[in-house]
Amino acid sequence: MGVKVFEQETNYWCGPATVKQVLHYINGNSKSQKSYAKKLGTTTDGTDFSVIDNVLNDNQNKNKYVYTTHDFDQKYKFLDKIEYGVEHDYPVVIDLSIRPEYMPTYKKAVKNQNHFRSAVIW
């Protein structure tokens, strides 16, 4: 999957950067991270993950994005959804719970412990 990577423009715009990546892949173009930050209601505290699917659905009509959550004991259901998305040629957006002890490079880069990414295979 050839998803173009857009580096997040601020340390709290992982949501807008991820939305830009996904929409750029699906539509062949995308708006600015600033415009997505506004649509997502992003603040210096970050983005509410539960609104990302709404912005994705409002800006493309190829895929239907749905917000779901999974506990750690449901990790295989979570992994199945990622695999299904990748196999059907659409990026899956995931909300990672980041613990600095496991990802030391994120100690200063992430204000809270959650971080968004699009899950794709390069």
Domain ranges of the chain: 14-119
> How many Cα atoms are found within 13 Å in the side-chain-facing hemisphere of 2?
2
- The angle at the Cα of 81, spanning 19 to 69, to the nearest 5 degrees, equals 70
Tens digit of each residue's pLDDT (9 = 90 or more) over 24-48: 999 999 999 999 999 999 999 899 9
**What's the pLDDT band for 74 if we cut at 50, 70, 90?**
confident
CB 99 within 8 A of CB 113: yes
Torsions phi, psi for 84 (to 5 deg)? -60, -45
* Beta bridge pairs of residue 46: 43
Average of per-residue pLDDT values in the chain: 83
What Å distances lie between residue 45 and 4, 15, 27, 37, 81, CA to CA? Answer: 26, 11, 29, 12, 28
Centre a 10 Å sphere on the Cβ of residue 56 and count the other Cβ atoms it contains: 23
Q: Is the pTM of this model over 0.75?
A: yes
Model pLDDT, residue 121? 39
